[in-house]
Structure formats: structure tokens, C-alpha cells
Structure 1
Amino acid sequence: MSRPPAEPTARTGLRELKKQRTRRAIRRAAYRLFGEQGYDATRVDQIAEAAEVSTSTVFRYFPTKEDIVLTDEDDPVLEAALRARPAGEPPLTALREALRETVRTVYASPEWVAEVEQRMRLVRSVPAVRARLDESMAATGDLLAEVLAARTGRSPDELELRVFIGATLGALREVLMHWVARGLRDDLMSLLDRAMDVLEHDLAD
């Protein structure tokens, strides 16, 4: 198969970069307004105005206001990290290390930490955001199921695989909730390791 020409590839890369910048501008504007006037009082048209885009552009990138809170760039990082793990590695070890790599990559920036803090506070306090989180995590679970099914030879729909993924993602959510509830005082990586240890060893000391 012939290699595609460089120019369209470059244009595709520029388009994706522009989309990322637009998504981030909308999220930054939304978080600022949520902090100033509260989640329920903030309208999507106000977010659009603050981000200097149209309301239709906001909805093109985020179908609901809850999605502005919950949509991020974590999944591609997590997927790439998991695919890069050694083929013979046990699933829990591979997923633990992929999560560690994602935390190192995504939460290294103070801007991302501030967004995660506000996101998890909204998850705790706004029922609509909390409900939408379940749908968002289900999509992440589907992604992980495909990768782990390929690694293990199992079916993506196998109950045991889905339980394993659900437990791991649930652990990650609890880690982030605990971290935010304690004012970010704890080391996030240490909390993640503690959670993964529970999955590996149960509640044994």
C-alpha cells in the first residue's frame, strides 16, 4: 500500500491540534465560570462567550454541559501506555503501570491538577455530573476491554474481564476522590499504588 502524502498528514495534524486547543479553551472558560458563579448557574452560552466560540461549537465538542467537566485527553494516553506494556505481563501489572504512566503524563501540569480537583468536587456535589461520569467511565472500560482482550486472548465482553476493568476504574475514581477530599496533600502515585495493592492482595495487611 502506498504511503499517504506528507501534506495531508500535516494538515490532519494541524486540524487535530486546533481541535485540542478549542476543547481546552472551552474547558478553561467553563471551569472559571463554575468557580465564579457555580455549576447550575452557568449557562452554555456564557461558556461559549468566555471561550470566544459559538454555542454550536461548544455542543459540537461537548454534547452536554456535564461532558465539559468530564471529557479530557486521558484515554488516548492510557491506551498507548497499556499497548506499550510487555506482552507477557500479568493484566493487573500492565494496567497498574499504564495508570502510573498516565498519572505521570497527565497530572504533571498544575493546570491539569486544578482541573481534576474541580472536576472531582463537581462529581461529589452535582448529581448530573456524577451520573454522566458513569457513562464516561463505561466508554473508557470499552476501550480497555479491547486492548486487554487482545493481550489475553479473551473476549471483550467476557464477564471476568469486565469485572476486572470495572474494579480497576472504580479504584482510580476512589483514589481521585480521596486525593481531592484531603486537599491534594497526599502523593497521588502512592494512593494509586495503595489502591492497586488492594485489588491484588485484598484487604490483607
Structure 2
Amino acid sequence: MTPPGLRERKKARTRAAIREHAMRLFDEQGYAATTVDQIAEAADVSQSTFFRYFPTKEDVVLADDLDPLFVQAVRDQPADLHPIEAIKRGIRQVFAAVSEEQRRQERRRQRLIQSVPELRARSLHQYAAAVDLLATVVAERAGVPADDFPARVLAGAVIGSLLATLPRGVDEPALDHDEFSSMERALDLLRAGLPLGRR
């Protein structure tokens, strides 16, 4: 993979700075009380620059930077793997590459989503997009059309099983080893046909 050029690195730094200042302000004064103007000023960017990176204030929190990495990791798995095994290996590959700082940021992000009703509500709408994204990759690997119904059903089942492993409260950790183990167990159960009583 070609390393990112100077322009891409600058864009990534700007995006990261906007998000970090936003999260700091959310922690200090609350999500509702923080404005886009305040975030832009703290990050030393214009309001128009803010909106180039994040369409809304909500997107600063809801945008998941790991999604593109996960999709590529699944896409790169051997073609003969069962789709659920390819997904499991993709998750493992991304998880192994996540730094401790990224884990800390993800824990902050998940806690905020769980604690702010409008963020929690909008995050539910993102699950449909996640199904679309995963179904496209599953279909691509199987050599079937992107709108293939079985591919969409499998993607929906995978997303649902992964959602079932998410922390149930704002004080529970996210993206730690135990959660990753739960994700693997959920996918194993799904592949086995969801036998009840299996742990």
C-alpha cells in the first residue's frame, strides 16, 4: 500500500485536531452546550473547514474511522474463506492494529453516543448503512450482484450479532479484549446456526 502523501497527512491531522478539540469541549461543557463555532475556534480552523470534514456536529462523534479499515481487511481475506470467517479475521486484523490511544478515543466516543439521546437515536440509523456496506463486500467476495438478497441477509445478521456484544451501559469499556472475544463468539454462534444454550 502506498504511504499517504503530504496533502493526505495534513488533512488527516486537521480532521484529528477538529475531533480531539470537539471531544474535549464535549467533556468540559457538555455536548448540547458546545457549538460548531467553538469547536472550529479551538481547532484553529474556519467554520467552512469544519464542515468540509464533518457535515454536522453529530458527525464528529458518529463518524467511525475504523469502518474503512474493516471493509478493506475483509476484502483482503482469501477468497475461499466462508464470509463469516473472513469477517472474523478482518475484525481481528483491525483490532490488532488499533493503538492504545485509538482505543481510548473509541471508549470516549461510545460513552458519548450512549449518553446523548440524539446521538444514540441517529446511531441506530447508521446500522442500515453498515448493512449496505458489509453486504457489498460479502457480495463482491462471492461474485454476486451488490444487491444480492442472501448477501444482505448475512450482512444484517452479522451486524445484529455484533451489536449484541456492545457495552450495555455508559460505564462499560469498549474495544477491549473481552469485547473482541465476545464478537468472535457471536460470529461463531451465527455460523453454527445460533444453537441456544451454547456459550
Task: Give TM-score, length-normalised by structure 2.
Answer: 0.85
Give the conservation status (yes or no) of the 8 Å contact 2:131–2:156. yes
Give the conservation status (yes or no) of the 8 Å contact 1:81–1:98. yes
Which residue number in structure 1 is paired with residue 80 of structure 2?
Answer: 88
User: Does 1:158 pair with 2:157?
Assistant: no
Give the conservation status (yes or no) of the 8 Å contact 1:67–1:132. no
Give the conservation status (yes or no) of the 8 Å contact 1:33–1:42. yes
Give the conservation status (yes or no) of the 8 Å contact 2:136–2:147. no
Which residue number in structure 2 is paired with residue 133 of structure 1?
Answer: 123
Give the conservation status (yes or no) of the 8 Å contact 1:120–1:176. no
Which residue number in structure 1 is paired with residue 49 of structure 2?
Answer: 57
| Aligned-pair CA distance for 1:186 | 5.7
Could you list the structure 1 runs, at least 4 aligned residues long, displaced by more than 6 angstroms after superposition. none
- Runs (5+) with no aligned partner, structure 2: none
Counterparts of 1:140 and 1:19 in 2: how far apart (Å)? Answer: 25
Which residue number in structure 2 is paired with residue 197 of structure 1?
Answer: 188
Counterparts of 2:168 and 2:148 in 1: how far apart (Å)? Answer: 30
| Aligned-pair CA distance for 1:82 | 1.1
After alignment, is 81-90 or 178-187 more displaced?
178-187
- Runs (5+) with no aligned partner, structure 1: 1-8
Q: Secondary structure at the match of 1:177?
A: coil
1:187 to 169, 178, 183: 178
Give the conservation status (yes or no) of the 8 Å contact 2:138–2:155. no
Counterparts of 1:82 and 1:158 in 2: how far apart (Å)? Answer: 18
Write out per-residue CA displacement over residues 27-86 of structure 1, whole angstroms, 9 at most, x where no aligned residue: 111111111111111111111111111111111110011110021321221122112111
Distance change (3 Å), C-alpha of 1:80 and 1:41: same
Counterparts of 2:143 and 2:173 in 1: how far apart (Å)? Answer: 41
- Residue identity opposite 1:122 in structure 2: L
Question: Matched residues, percent identical?
Answer: 48
Which residue number in structure 2 is paired with residue 73 of structure 1?
Answer: 65
- Residue identity opposite 1:191 in structure 2: S
Counterparts of 1:83 and 1:154 in 2: how far apart (Å)? Answer: 14
| Aligned-pair CA distance for 1:178 | 4.5
Within 5 A, what are the aligned runs for 1:28-43? 28-43=20-35
| Aligned-pair CA distance for 1:153 | 2.4
Considering fraction of residues, name the structure with more helix: 1
- Residue identity opposite 2:147 in structure 1: D
Count of matched residue positions in the alignment of Structure 1 and Structure 2: 194
Within 5 A, what are the aligned runs for 1:18-33? 18-33=10-25
